[in-house]
Amino acid sequence: MDIQGAAPAPREIDTSGLPMDQAQALVLDELRALTERAEPFAAILLMPAPPQGRTPAASASGTSTADRVRTLKLIRPGLTALCRGLAFVAPADIPAERAEAIHSGEQLWGCPTMATQDVTAARAWAGARVGG
What's the rounded Cα separation, in Å, for the pair 11 and 36? Answer: 14
Phi-psi region of 79 (alpha: psi -120 to 50; beta: other; left: phi over 0): alpha
Domain ranges of the chain: 11-50+63-129
Q: Are the C-beta atoms of 15 and 128 separated by less than 8 Å?
A: no
Lowest mean pLDDT segment, chosen from 17-26, 93-102, 123-132: 93-102
As a whole-number percent, the residues of the chain with pLDDT over 90 amount to: 50
What's the rounded Cα separation, in Å, for the pair 128 and 57? Answer: 39
φ and ψ at 25, to 5 degrees? -65, -40
User: What is the per-residue pLDDT across 44-65, written as a single tens digit (0 to 9) for each?
Assistant: 999 988 766 544 444 444 567 8
Q: Are the C-beta atoms of 49 and 98 separated by less than 8 Å?
A: no
| Whether the predicted pLDDT of 5 surpasses 60 | no
pTM above 0.85, yes or no: no
Highest mean pLDDT among 60-69, 91-100, 111-120 belongs to 111-120
